[in-house]
């Protein structure tokens, strides 16, 4: 080759390119690919480090950003440089706040990094949303495994939120009267046990008997010591309203809230004689009269035996016509009595301690079952020794 040709070739290699660079200088650059947050571009860079290559492209990185390969790595043809910018996520997990830096670019990716990607968790931002460079506020309500016991049945559920949310997840229909332990607004924790009690409050009305009172009036129409019932006592009726509280269908409390008078009781009126007794007859007539009186009153007063309180039953108390312990039908007009211990069918004499009046009765029933009482006299038997009275002190013997 001649020197002229060689010189021509050498001169050609020093020709200027369209961009003003010599061909030699252009051939001195490396082809690299730079990816910034997943967006790639191919560029030519001078020989040097990754850091120099990025700066040449106007790309700066901070302490929360990642660069691969490392900034000090030398670049060559075909080098792939990946830059991922850090993003600040202000996190609120079940009310507890914290801040995290991440190079993840989507909410879904950062949830996976934080192990909060359970599909049952409630997230304040769409899981598919992008995280901007300026960062993101993200609230997560974590699903918890809890158990709900209602009406004797335990159900396992996985849900975020509060006790109220767990009851909803378990299909429990509740209202403000019901009892939940813990309370409805309590935040769920892993493994929590929830007990729910259904509370029903109902109003109920019922009629109750009101006992009649007794009064006595003096009358000169009757001999002193004699009595006569002129107005029979009648029990009244009140309507009571009650509030009944049920827990899981069982009555746990009841409270009377109102009383309405339906029928007023009728006071029993007894006339008490004040007229002086007639003069005593002669001894013969007195003896005859005394004999007759003893026969009608049941004999002479009992002076020994047992002394106790006797009550009466049969008049207006619903027992007339019912069965007795002896099997016969109760007739309050007969001279009978009830005793807890005396033999059925036996007869005893009963004396009113206050006036000495005596009656003979037959035991045909059992009772009374009120403490301190020994006999329950039929209406006729009580009227024979204490007309119009309900309780009287007696002495009795067989």
Q: Which domain holds residue 68?
A: 3-84
What is the layout of strands, in order, in the sheet containing 236-247?
199-210, 236-247, 250-263
Q: Are residues 135 and 153 in the same domain?
A: no
CA atoms of 331 and 381, how far apart (whole Å): 11
Residue 73 lies inside a defined structural domain of this protein: yes
* Contact predicate 116/140, CB 8 Å: yes
Q: Which of residues 197, 220, 237 is at a domain's end?
A: 197
Q: What's the mean per-residue pLDDT of the chain? A: 86
Which pLDDT score, from 0 to 100, does residue 224 have? Answer: 86
**Residue 389: CB partners within 8 Å, gap ≥ 6?**
312, 382
Number of domains in the chain: 5
On whether both 187 and 214 belong to a single domain, the answer is no
> What integer pLDDT is reported at residue 281 of this predicted model?
52
Antiparallel, parallel or unpaired: β 193-197 and 144-150: parallel
CA 220 → CA 4, 275, 341, 383, distances in Å? 176, 5, 43, 20
More confident residue, 21 or 79: 79
The whole-number pLDDT of residue 275 equals 87
281 located within any domain: no
Please tell me the predicted confidence (pLDDT) of residue 305.
85
Same structural domain, 316 and 362 = yes
287: in domain: no
276 part of a folded domain: no
Looking at the structure, tell me whether residues 169 and 207 fall in a common domain. no
Q: Across the chain, which distance is largest between two alpha carbons, in Å? A: 196
Residues 109 and 46 in one domain: no
Measured in degrees and rounded to the nearest 5, phi and psi for residue 83 equal -115, 125
Percent of all residues in the chain with a pLDDT value above 70, rounded to a whole number: 88
pLDDT tens column, 314-362: 878 888 888 999 999 999 999 999 999 999 999 999 999 999 999 999 9
Residue 272: how many other CB atoms lie within 10 Å: 16
Q: Give the closest residue to 235 by CA, choosing from 315, 312, 313.
A: 315
Pairing of strands 80-84, 87-93: unpaired
35-42: long-range contacts (C-beta < 8 A, 24 or more apart)? Answer: 35/80, 35/81, 35/82, 35/83, 36/83, 36/85, 37/83, 37/84, 37/85, 37/105, 38/105
Residue 220 lies in a domain: yes
- Co-location of 17 and 55 in the same domain: yes
Residue 387 reports pLDDT greater than 50? yes
* Pairing of the two strands 373-378 and 306-313: parallel
pLDDT of res. 10: 38
Residue ending a domain, choose from 164, 181, 197: 197
| pLDDT at 290 exceeding the cut of 80 | no
Tell me which residue has tokens 């001999």.
223
279, part of any domain = no
Six-digit token string for 214:
């007794």
Under DSSP, the state recorded for 313 is: E
Whether residue 343 has a cis bond before it, omega within 30° of 0: no
How high is the pLDDT of residue 27?
54
CATH at residue 313: 2.40.40.10
**What is the pTM for the complete model shown?**
0.47
Those residues whose C-beta lies under 8 Å from the C-beta of residue 318, and which sit 6 or more positions away, are none
Beta partners for 136?
A: 89
DSSP class of residue 202 equals E
Quick: pLDDT tens for 7-26: 333 333 333 333 444 444 44
Average pLDDT over residues 109-114: 93
Q: What is the DSSP string of 219-267?
A: EEEEETT-EEEEE--B-EEEEEEEEEEEETTEEEEEEEEEEEEEEPPBP
């Amino acid at each position: 080759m001649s020197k002229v040709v060689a010189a021509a070739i050498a001169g050609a290699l020093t020709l200027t390119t369209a961009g003003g660079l010599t061909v030699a200088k252009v051939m001195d650059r490396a082809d690299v690919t730079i990816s910034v947050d997943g967006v790639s571009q191919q560029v030519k860079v001078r020989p040097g480090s990754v850091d120099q290559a990025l700066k040449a492209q106007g790309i700066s990185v901070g302490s929360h950003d990642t660069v691969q390969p490392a900034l000090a790595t030398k670049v060559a043809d075909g080098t792939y440089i990946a830059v991922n910018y850090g993003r600040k996520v202000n996190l609120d997990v079940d009310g507890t706040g914290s801040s995290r830096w991440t190079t993840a670019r989507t909410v879904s990716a950062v949830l996976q990094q934080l192990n909060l990607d359970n599909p049952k968790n409630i997230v304040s931002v769409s899981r598919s949303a992008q995280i901007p460079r300026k960062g993101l506020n993200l609230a997560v309500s974590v699903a918890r495994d809890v158990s709900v016991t209602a009406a004797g049945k335990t159900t396992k559920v996985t849900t975020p939120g509060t006790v109220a949310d767990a009851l909803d997840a378990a299909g429990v229909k509740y209202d403000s009267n019901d009892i939940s332990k813990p309370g409805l607004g309590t935040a769920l924790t892993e493994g929590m046990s929830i007990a729910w009690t259904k509370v029903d409050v109902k109003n109920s009305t019922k009629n109750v008997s009101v006992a009649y009172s007794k009064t006595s009036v003096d009358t000169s129409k009757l001999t002193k010591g004699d009595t006569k019932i002129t107005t029979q006592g009648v029990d009244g009726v009140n309507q009571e309203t009650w509030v009944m509280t049920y827990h899981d269908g069982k009555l746990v409390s009841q409270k009377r809230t109102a009383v309405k008078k339906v029928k007023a009781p009728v006071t029993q009126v007894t006339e008490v004689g004040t007229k002086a007794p007639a003069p005593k007859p002669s001894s013969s007539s007195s003896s005859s009269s005394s004999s007759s009186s003893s026969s009608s009153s049941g004999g002479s007063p009992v002076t020994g035996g047992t002394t106790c309180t006797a009550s009466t039953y049969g008049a207006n108390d619903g027992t007339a016509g019912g069965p007795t312990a002896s099997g016969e039908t109760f007739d309050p007009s007969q001279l009978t009595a009830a005793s807890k211990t005396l033999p059925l069918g036996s007869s005893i004499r009963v004396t009113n301690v206050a006036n000495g009046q005596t009656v003979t009765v037959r035991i045909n029933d059992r009772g009374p079952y009120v403490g301190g009482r020994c006999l329950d006299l039929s209406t006729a038997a009580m009227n024979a020794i204490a007309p119009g009275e309900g309780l009287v002190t007696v002495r009795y013997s067989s």
